[in-house]
Amino acid sequence: VVERTYDYIAKLIKGKESTDQLSGPIRIAQVSGMVASSGGLLALINLAAILSVSIGLMNLFPVPMLDGGHLMFYAVEAARGRPLSERAQEIGFRVGLGLVLMLMLFVTWNDLVHVRSLL
């Protein structure tokens, strides 16, 4: 799952993969309902595990609002011998928040477009 997730993200950045597979809460709920009704409890547990791993990997990206961003700040601090200024960290967190909010809006838009196409 980890390897496939990183492979998809790399292809997405290179423009070789479509963003149609990026899902937000609406499509996750839709897929969960389909899996629960047709695949049973084991398939639903498998889906939950895949979602958990994917969300965990996203959390490790070096975006300041995420855990990976905190690790990035720690690495910069270790390399410099002193932490970044509060102003630099604040700017980083604002940029990170903007990126996270844009991703949330994009996947929700993707969900709405996908649900609309099913109607």
Residues 6+ apart with CB under 8 A from 59: 66, 67, 68
pLDDT tens for residues 4-49? Answer: 888 998 999 999 999 988 999 999 999 999 999 998 899 999 999 9
pLDDT tens for residues 69-90? Answer: 999 999 999 999 999 999 999 9
Extents of the domains making up the chain:
2-118
Please give the model's pTM, rounded to 2 decimal places. 0.83
